[in-house]
Amino acid sequence: MSLRYALLGLLAYEPASGYALTKSFEHHVGRYAWQAGHTRIYPELNKLAADGLIEVAEEGARGRITYAITEPGRAALREWMMTPPAARKVRDEDVLRLFLMSALPPEDSRRLLKAIIEDCAGEIDELRDTIAMLDEDCAEAGERLPFGRLAAEYGLRTYETRRDWALWALARLESH
């Protein structure tokens, strides 16, 4: 059911086509929060439209269909946002690998931790660039919703934390 709300959330930010939404999932949403491919996105958009939570805002070139969120859609999104379930539910392959780390022989653990540290470094650099650009746009355009900014900051802090954890785990392994 979460994909539904992921789409509503993106459309609450601004109207978009299925193609554009797919790109959003590829570039940010799917990397940090909720992955989805176009084969799920298009059917779900049709269902959302059938349910009246979104509507066709424009039909453009190459069959492009731009959707916009409706008032019932905003209400449904708000309802979902404000009532998180008691039980946490996560599926993150990367974190699973971290969790199972000690199943490996120490030498492999070390190699994997070093790879994680490098990977995080790349991610952090990328996010720092993104944030710099967002902040410039903000200063120039004067008015921009902080959607990307909050999310980017969250991503940045998450990867910094993961890198620091890996450094700590590595040190812990060495002092054995």
Binding site for its own copies (CB under 8 A): 2, 5-6, 8-10, 12-13, 28-35, 77-78, 81-82, 84-85, 87-104, 108, 111-112, 115, 145-147, 150-151, 153-154, 157-158, 160-162, 164-165, 168-169, 172
Shortest Å, Cβ 90 to DNA: 10
Which residue of 82, 84, 86, 89 would you call a contact of DNA, by CB under 7 A?
Answer: 89
Does 92 contact DNA by CB under 7 A? no
Residue pair 67/17 in contact (Cβ under 8 Å)? The answer is yes
Does 96 contact DNA by CB under 7 A? no
Separation of alpha carbons 45 and 62, rounded Å? 18
The partner in contact with residue 64, picked from its own copies, DNA, none with C-beta cut-offs of 5 to 8 angstroms by kind, is DNA
Shortest Å, Cβ 113 to DNA: 26
- Angle between helix axes 71-82 and 2-13 (nearest 10 degrees) is 120
Separation of alpha carbons 21 and 23, rounded Å? 5
Which residue of 10, 11, 12, 22 would you call a contact of DNA, by CB under 7 A?
Answer: 22
Handedness of CA 130, 93, 79, 59 (dihedral sign): positive
Separation of alpha carbons 43 and 51, rounded Å? 12
Shortest Å, Cβ 98 to its own copies: 6
Q: Coil, strand or helix: which one is 2?
A: helix
Token pair, residue 46, equals 């049709």
Q: Coil, strand or helix: which one is 69?
A: strand
Which is closer to its own copies, CB of 49 or CB of 110?
Answer: 110
Residues near DNA (CB under 7 A) are 1-3, 17-20, 22, 35-40, 42-43, 45-46, 60-65, 89, 91
